[in-house]
Structure 1
């Protein structure tokens, strides 16, 4: 098993693992993974620039986006550096062969210290928001996650969340539905925003078997610099 370490922080890019086929970075809250209608420079372009500079590459740099994180969320993002690794990683995500663990800060204590939540989520594209239902409704998708309280802070509870499915705003929606909106998440019911417009949801750890080398990878993303996050360690 390989415990990966922080390798680079050039241009605010925190690289946590890099090999011939994949690169894993710690996304800052506010960065977008792929380009969108805002026209802001996406993280994928930042990573391409980093690779172009590091390896003195002429022309275009290949980079495959394997998955995304919401803009106000921070933490681990995997990119593929080769066309060989990308379909394998996509297949691993689809088969749930990649274990993703998130940390979330909530003000309200969940009724249970740990639980497995099952909802059916329906996305409303007009306001880019998902709504949870206890039973299946038209155009909804089943969403499953497990959480446990891992620390009580002065004003918040730190939850560790493991996803079984990957739905639009899944953690945000499901925790809000049980009365535990994430700190700073106005869209899903928290009472005030964070100063930097982030939400206190962090993709903390990822474990998977490397799609090419078959090595076991176990990568943890450092927490954002913030007094409340600092109290979690």
Structure 2
């Protein structure tokens, strides 16, 4: 379901769906999800201002952050417009009825065309980096994902990733751990990537139970048709058809 593009603070944010309870948008690449030390315009603040302007609301506007995307990552995101919706969507995340599928371009090609990855990840809050550690290490959390290779070209592979857990930097760290760092990832693939390359990770599908209605909402988004995505132009253009329900 598509909607108009609203502009706020000079940033055009595609709105995919909106009702009284949820707001689903397509996050631009290189935009922080929420305010950070860079002080650059962030998605949450821009959307709040946009809601305030469009609905002529005085004072502060409530908009709940349900999940996050790393700054370089674009694609589908959902926000809660009420505290009840925020609570129920958070429950969906916790109970894993909140389904997320990503498209990624990685260096090399995984040994198996499809499979599951299970690692234990530990975050260093001082450096904001995540590493793979042995199971049972204090503070480590289990990370699970499934992947499927859609195609390979020029030493790169287009991969679909379905998350079962939502750990920080999870996709980037787990794929790097099997020798396939993401294209453009300077943090977990610095040896394979060049400075200035755009991280090739995209939130391609989001599915979740509506917080007040008895239905599941599903939204899809295709990555931009530019390098390295255009190496698989037809696959990228028709990516929603490649994603299983």
User: Normalization by structure 1: what TM-score?
Assistant: 0.92
Q: Is the 8 A contact 2:110 2:178 kept in 1?
A: yes
Q: Give the structure 1 partner of residue 207 of structure 2.
A: 207
Which residue in the other structure is 2:86 paired with? 86
CA contact (8 A) 1:73 1:198 kept: no
Q: Is the 8 A contact 1:208 1:217 kept in 2?
A: yes
Answering whether residue 5 of structure 2 is matched by residue 8 of structure 1, we say: yes
1:47 pairs with 2:47 = yes
CA distance in 2, matches of 1:121, 1:208: 25
- Unaligned regions of 5+ residues in structure 2, if any? 238-245
- Distance (Å, rounded) in 2 between the aligned partners of 1:88 and 1:194: 40
Aligned partner of 2:188 in structure 1 is 188
Structure 1: unaligned runs, 5 residues or longer: none
Q: Distance in 1 between the 2:17 and 2:223 partners?
A: 16
Whole-angstrom distance in 2 between the partners of 1:40 and 1:98: 29
Alpha-carbon shift at residue 225 of structure 1 (Å): 4.5
Query: Secondary structure of 1:76's match?
Result: strand
CA shift digits 1:161-182 (9 cap, x unpaired): 0111111110000000000000
- Structure 2 Cα separation of the partners of residues 37 and 82 of structure 1: 27
Q: Secondary structure at the match of 2:132?
A: strand
Quote the residue 1:126 is aligned against.
Answer: 126
For 1:17-166, what aligned pairs fall within 5 Å after superposition? 17-166=17-166
Name the SS of the counterpart of 2:121 in structure 1.
strand
Aligned-partner Cα distance in 1 for 2:175–2:128 = 17
Deviations 1:61-101 (A, max 9, x none): 11111111111111111111112211011111111111100
Cα distance in 2 for partners of 1:105, 1:59 equals 43
Count, aligned residues: 229
Listed one character per residue, the Cα deviations across residues 117-154 of structure 1 (whole Å, up to 9, x for unaligned) are 11100112232111113533222111111101022234
Give the superposed CA RMSD.
1.7
Q: Return the offset for 1:52.
A: 1.4
Q: Offset at 1:40?
A: 2.0
Question: 1: distance between equivalents of 2:172 and 2:215?
Answer: 32
Match of 1:115, SS? strand
TM-score of the superposed pair, with normalisation by structure 2: 0.88
Name the CA shift for 1:71/1:171 in 2 (closer, same or farther; >3 Å): same
User: Relative contact order, CA 8 A, sep 6+: which one is greater?
Assistant: 1
